[in-house]
Amino acid sequence: MKRLWVCCAILAVMLVMASSWVYYLKKSSERLSLMIDEAEQLAEQRSPKAAEAIGELCSYWDSFASTAAFFESSATLMSISDSAAKLEYLYAKDNDEFFSECEVIRSGADRIFRSNLPFLPNR
Amino acid sequence: MLVVFLRAVLLYAVVVFAIRLMGKRQLGELQPSEFVITILISNIATLPIEDTGTPMLLGIVPILTLVCLDVIMSAATLKSRRLRRMVSGSPKIIISDGIIDQKLLKELRYTVDDVSEALRSQGIFDISDVQYAVIETTGAVSAFLKNPKQPLTFEQPKPAENPPQVVIDDGDIIKRSLKFLGLDEQWLRGCLAAEGARRHEVFLMTAKPDGSYKLIRKEKGL
């Protein structure tokens, strides 16, 4: 009987962890999307605050990626981290690829969230 | 290299814990569901060890989920005989009074060679020596020899008869066994009345074709 309760407890913990993870991914991808919007807007205006916004975006992505590494495959995270690492350089060089790399990060984070949903979401 | 080593150590601990959680039943004869789970665990455990890009949790979560579901299913089958039969199947009598049930053998996709091989592994080389044989839910064949072929004991030889059958299992009447013994529920009710026991109070009751029986009551608190 003790074994049964241990199993029920393990299953409950895993269910809570999985649900919390999906919730965390949703919130993180939403926040990341807002940060990208802000960074893109400031970069378009060549605002002095743009470099700061890009730095914040990169550090937020780094903290998200280190948490996500517990549940997500490293190949997916690495390809997005590569894009994040390029942002500051591309902005400094005033390269248009800055915006495409921003979209890579946005769609990557969104893809990670959607791949964790147990159903096909309506788009 | 160090990462692979540490992953292997961690997954070893998880798999050992998982097998222990499945309990002692796992270490003996495997039921079909346990057999499937054992194979699945061994496959799942290799993926995160080999591929360092796969998170450890993607190996640990399915292993624990499968084992927990198996334990919960085992507990459920303990309560419900119908569920137990659905999950593990039921033993089938393939030889009774020395006669092979050919129709059943065909249904089970067992050949005479399979049965002979299983009997030979028990030291029985002539099917006609077998009084009664059963294919267990694990696929093993259990055989009961006819009286003249039984090993010698100090007891007086008894007339040839089939071994006792379980007629009440944890409060459930096994109608199949009653039919096999040529007895009926009226006889069973008579026995229970004589013992002063109600059906749900009986843990195990076995009976023989001659109507003799043994009854074990449930212990209190079970």
For residue B180, what are the domain limits? 165-217
Contact B54 A3 (CB under 8 A): no
Q: How far is CA A66 from CA A11, A60, A71, B26, B61, in A?
A: 25, 10, 10, 38, 19
Assess contact for B165 and B181: CB atoms under 8 A.
yes
**Phi and psi angles of residue B140, each rounded to the nearest 5 degrees, phi first:** -75, 150
* Same domain as B171, residue B131: no
For residue A81, what are the domain limits? 25-115
Question: How many domains in chain A?
Answer: 1
Distance from CA of A36 to the nearest CA of B (A): 27
* Same domain as B64, residue B11: yes
Specify if A61 maps to a domain.
Answer: yes
Kindly report the CATH number assigned to the domain that includes residue B138: 3.30.240.20
Q: What is the pTM of this model?
A: 0.71
Specify if B222 maps to a domain.
Answer: no
User: Residues of B numbered 105-164 whose beta carbons fall under 8 angstroms of chain A's beta carbons: which are they?
Assistant: none
Specify if A40 maps to a domain.
Answer: yes
Positions in chain A short of pLDDT 70: 120-123
Specify if B157 maps to a domain.
Answer: no
| One pLDDT digit (tens) per residue for chain B, 222 residues | 788 888 888 888 988 888 888 776 545 567 777 888 888 988 898 888 888 888 888 899 999 999 999 889 888 888 888 888 888 788 888 888 788 888 888 888 888 888 888 888 888 888 888 888 888 887 888 888 887 777 777 776 666 667 788 888 888 888 888 888 888 888 988 999 988 888 888 888 989 888 888 888 887 765
Which of B118, B149, B180 is the endpoint of a domain?
B149
Query: Nearest-CA residue of chain B relative to A14?
Result: B61
The answer to whether residue B67 neighbours chain A at the CB level (below 8 Å) is yes
Specify if A102 maps to a domain.
Answer: yes
Distance, CA of B59 to CA of B12 (rounded, Å)? 11
Question: How many domains in chain B?
Answer: 3
**pLDDT for position A106:** 92
* Same domain as B202, residue B176: yes
**pLDDT for position B215:** 87
Contact A70 B57 (CB under 8 A): yes
Nearest by CB to A75, which of B53, B57, B67?
Answer: B53
